[in-house]
Amino acid sequence: MDWNLLGLSFVMVFISELGDKSQLAAIALSGSSKSLRAVFLGSSAALLLASFLGVVLGEGVSHLLPLQFVKAIAAIGFAGMGLRLLWPVEAP
C-alpha cells in the first residue's frame, strides 16, 4: 500500500469536506435527532459511497482519456467554480 498516497488522499478530502453542504446537513440532522449514531453512520456511508464512485469513475475515465486532458478538465472546473463564487447571485 502506498502510505503517502493514503495520507494525501485523507488530508485532501478531509480539508475539502470541512464546512461544505454535507457537513452542514449532518449538523442540522444531528441537532434535530436523538440518534447521533444513525446520523454519523448515514453521513459516513454517504461520503464513502461518493468517494468510491469518484475513484471508480476516475479510474475508468483515465483509461479512455489522456491524463493531461482529465487534469485540465478538473482544473478548469475548479477554476470556474472559484470564479463563480466571487460574484454574488442576484435575487430575482
CA distance 43 to 17: 12
The pLDDT value recorded for residue 91 is 61
pTM here?
Answer: 0.62
Q: Would you place residue 92 in the very low, low, confident or very high pLDDT band (cuts 50, 70, 90)?
A: low
- The average confidence (pLDDT) of the chain is 86
